[in-house]
Structure 1
Amino acid sequence: MSVKFIGYIGFNNSSEVDQGTRNRALDLDYVRNALRVQEEGGFDRVLIPFGSNTPESQIVAAYGAALTTRLGFLVAHRPGFTQPTLAARQLSTLDQLSNGRIAVHIITGGADEEMARDGDVGTTKAERYARSDEYLDVLRQEWQADAPFDHDGRFYRIRKAQSAIKPEHLPVFFGGTSPEAIEVAGRHADVYATWGETLSATRETIRRVRASAARYGRSPGFSLSLRPVIAATEEEAWRKAASIVERVREARIRQGLPIRDHAPPNDGSRRLLETASALRQDERLWTGVAQLTGAAGNSTGLVGTPEQVAEAMLEYYRLGVDHFLIRGFDPLGDAEIYGRDLLPVVREKIAAYDALQSVQAG
């Protein structure tokens, strides 16, 4: 395997520690600086997130692609609000304009309240995964068909569709740990994306996805999302993590948000909340923010020196993780630190491990 690093470009330099304190929903200075820092720092891609009240991810990715030359983009995209044939052409166009630097992260949506903000009212989670499954069938057919095609499904009816523009290679990322999600991932994911759980839980998730994919003759990659906290010494890194927890607590109190909300809406958050039953798991998996937020999204991290965190990431790589999506609680500052101090060490360790495996296999 080879390892890939995915950064993150939100739309302003805020996070859980100061959410709500920025007035600008789209801060162009931040976006430009985040693009520069992560391209110069050696990230392979950056995730552009999707939300029901945020700037539109594909447009931000197009803007970013115009300002960079090497950096790739993982565009979060939610099925159900755009016809799959149109989405296929939009993504293909973006892929060609960026010279092949686009991947798409399919976000099915687990929270009924957020889905309703865009008019998706009354659908169940199982229905949404069934819709994503069919959506991806049509999306890939639009990308691949050499002749006009028809489609008659539960959610979409299409007549004589054919796209003049196609991507050369546009990877599909997909996440979710419910049985429905694992089934769809097995059929469609080029890369399966999951949050930072324990090594044993990650091993089991990889096993489930591989078993699902094998039924379709497929072998996906795996992406793990983490929030690394690094410092010159281990003691300093854990003090920094404790400070982040207190800052998140204060921010949630200011905003009137619940502390330790134990009713997450989706299976992935429920699993992550189980991981957060202890502040520290394995040797350095840290769950402090996940505990406070009810595991709302990517909220677990690895804590230590760059060498220690890199060694922990190597353990996930040994399980089959070949993509790491990493972002910090100081988005811009942490991205610069990761590019300078963490990514080179991880790459060095993984290269040494791969070389040893090659020698042993030969």
Structure 2
Amino acid sequence: MSIEFIGYVSHQESSETHLPQGPTLNVPYIGAVAQAHEYGGFDRVLIAHSSASPDGAQIASYVLNRTKRLGVLLAHRPGFVAPTLAARQLATLDHFGDGRLAVHIISGGDDTEQQRDGDFLDHAARYRRTDEYLDVVKQSWTRETPFDHQGEFYQVKGHKSQIRPVPRADLPHLPVYFGGASDAAIEVAGKHADVYALWGESLAQVAELLGRVKAAAARYGRQDKIRFSLSLRPIVAATEEAAWARADAILEQAKQVVTRSPNFTRRPQDPQNAGSQRLLAAASQGTVVDKRLWTGMAALTKAAGNSTGLVGTPEQVSEALVEYYRLGITTFLIRGFDPLEDALTYGRDLLPVARARLAAEEARAARVGRAAA
């Protein structure tokens, strides 16, 4: 089955409803959350990146060591290490994880956040750099002979790496996930992304954005080589009424937290990145869009990252996931507001129902395709 579910592992317990608590690098917590996702049947977990957080690559190494099957999606910002070095670091980590690593390339959508790490390139230049960076990284992963590179941002002469990613049946390198909704980002995604990742927008927005990415991929002859991921914050309960009541309670709790949490107070009030602007456009349509897409948290936090959710029973949320699947989404990145508890809840209540419904939809689509042929 081609459906993939990705969870989330943070370096400490925190969310929109929980002020950061415990040590900044809470090792037992990281291990517990990773194992909860493996137990719950997730395929991967995302390890995020920011200019203030502990090093994600080392967290990824620990997660891979503490699990046996679970994959890791490591967020990585181009521009802070040489692409040849990054290629070797990622390939080495992939071997320690027995081929369970994927990389999520994020070029950066906020000038202030980038500048905290000393990056003063503007938005357009960051995406030109990302394009060039990935050109070099992929060559380092795949070239059998030494190569040179002369570009706007990087110069390489005679590079040949001894370490390559673990061989995969479907790709000659690590899976490359890619995010960004600006025109510049979409052009890079069309050229490089194996999986294009977007946040939880309305069905109409998702259809429009997927069309733009597919058109960009077609310009590079890659229209059949790119898959799509959607990020959401499901809120599930035994009844629909209870689920919506929980969403209301989460929002009220968040109003007391986000004004005090350093994870939110250091963010700009008006987001620069196109992805957040698109989420705010969805939120402007109302607290609920497309029957059960909840935008309350996106409106409260100015769309600070993955902040929209699907609300309902596991069956109802699964039905909504099928609607996105019909548009072309095959990966769902889901995380809750109570990170550890929700990972267990998703594994017990949501993932089995969602996988069954999505498998049935996949089989139905295959039958329709055979009939049409």
TM class by smaller structure: over 0.9
From 246, 256, 260, give the equivalent of 2:252: 246
Question: Distance in 2 between the 1:12 and 1:81 partners?
Answer: 24
1:313 and 2:313 are equivalent in the alignment: no
SS of 2:13 mapped into structure 1: coil
Q: In structure 1, what is the equivalent of residue 237 of structure 2?
A: 231
Question: Distance in 2 between the 1:154 and 1:320 partners?
Answer: 35
Shift of 1:172: 0.3
1:265 and 2:264 are equivalent in the alignment: no
Question: Distance in 1 between the 2:78 and 2:328 partners?
Answer: 28
Question: Distance in 2 between the 1:211 and 1:350 partners?
Answer: 26
Question: Distance in 2 between the 1:261 and 1:54 partners?
Answer: 17
Q: Deviations over 1:69-111 (max 9, x none)?
A: 1000000000010100000000001111111100000010111
Q: In structure 2, what is the equivalent of residue 343 of structure 1?
A: 351
Q: Deviations over 1:10-45 (max 9, x none)?
A: 11121011234x141111111111111100111000
Q: In structure 2, what is the equivalent of residue 12 of structure 1?
A: 12
Question: Distance in 2 between the 1:355 and 1:282 partners?
Answer: 25
Question: Distance in 1 between the 2:310 and 2:145 partners?
Answer: 49
Contact 1:261 1:292 in 2 (8 A): no
SS of 2:74 mapped into structure 1: strand
Aligned-residue RMSD, C-alpha: 1.5
Equivalent AA in structure 1 for residue 366 of structure 2: S
1:62 and 2:61 are equivalent in the alignment: yes
Equivalent AA in structure 2 for residue 150 of structure 1: D
SS of 1:19 mapped into structure 2: strand
Q: In structure 1, what is the equivalent of residue 197 of structure 2?
A: 193
Q: In structure 2, what is the equivalent of residue 49 of structure 1?
A: 48
SS of 1:7 mapped into structure 2: strand
Equivalent AA in structure 2 for residue 276 of structure 1: A
SS of 1:14 mapped into structure 2: strand
SS of 1:119 mapped into structure 2: coil
Structure 1 window deviating more from structure 2 (352-361 vs 83-92): it is: 352-361
Contact 1:194 1:224 in 2 (8 A): yes
Question: Distance in 2 between the 1:357 and 1:112 partners?
Answer: 43
Q: Deviations over 1:178-217 (max 9, x none)?
A: 0000000000000000000000100111111011001111
- In structure 2, relative to structure 1, the CA distance for the partners of 1:243 and 1:124 (3 Å cut) is same
Q: TM-score, normalised by structure 2?
A: 0.94
Q: Deviations over 1:302-359 (max 9, x none)?
A: 0000000000001101110010000000000000000111011111001111222222
Question: Distance in 2 between the 1:275 and 1:360 partners?
Answer: 32
- In structure 2, relative to structure 1, the CA distance for the partners of 1:136 and 1:287 (3 Å cut) is same
Paired residues for 1:97-246 under 5 Å: 97-121=96-120, 123-167=121-165, 168=167, 169-218=173-222, 219-246=225-252
Shift of 1:144: 0.8
Structure 1 window deviating more from structure 2 (244-253 vs 302-311): it is: 244-253
Question: Distance in 2 between the 1:129 and 1:105 partners?
Answer: 14
> Identity over aligned residues, as a percent?
56
Contact 2:336 2:342 in 1 (8 A): yes
- In structure 2, relative to structure 1, the CA distance for the partners of 1:165 and 1:119 (3 Å cut) is same
Question: Distance in 1 between the 2:109 and 2:100 partners?
Answer: 28
Question: Distance in 1 between the 2:301 and 2:3 partners?
Answer: 30
Question: Distance in 1 between the 2:358 and 2:45 partners?
Answer: 21
Question: Distance in 2 between the 1:326 and 1:192 partners?
Answer: 15
Equivalent AA in structure 2 for residue 244 of structure 1: I
Equivalent AA in structure 2 for residue 16 of structure 1: E
- In structure 2, relative to structure 1, the CA distance for the partners of 1:85 and 1:208 (3 Å cut) is same
Contact 1:233 1:305 in 2 (8 A): yes
Question: Distance in 1 between the 2:312 and 2:279 partners?
Answer: 21
Question: Distance in 1 between the 2:86 and 2:268 partners?
Answer: 35
Contact 2:91 2:164 in 1 (8 A): yes
Contact 2:314 2:353 in 1 (8 A): yes
Shift of 1:361: 2.7
Question: Distance in 2 between the 1:359 and 1:116 partners?
Answer: 52
Shift of 1:255: 4.9
From 350, 357, 362, give the equivalent of 2:365: 357
> Where does structure 1 lack aligned partners over 5 or more consecutive residues?
none
Contact 2:12 2:22 in 1 (8 A): no
Contact 1:230 1:309 in 2 (8 A): yes
Contact 2:8 2:45 in 1 (8 A): yes
Q: In structure 2, what is the equivalent of residue 25 of structure 1?
A: 24
Question: Distance in 1 between the 2:112 and 2:22 partners?
Answer: 24
Contact 1:261 1:293 in 2 (8 A): no
Q: In structure 2, what is the equivalent of residue 71 of structure 1?
A: 70
Shift of 1:360: 2.7
Q: How many residues align?
A: 359
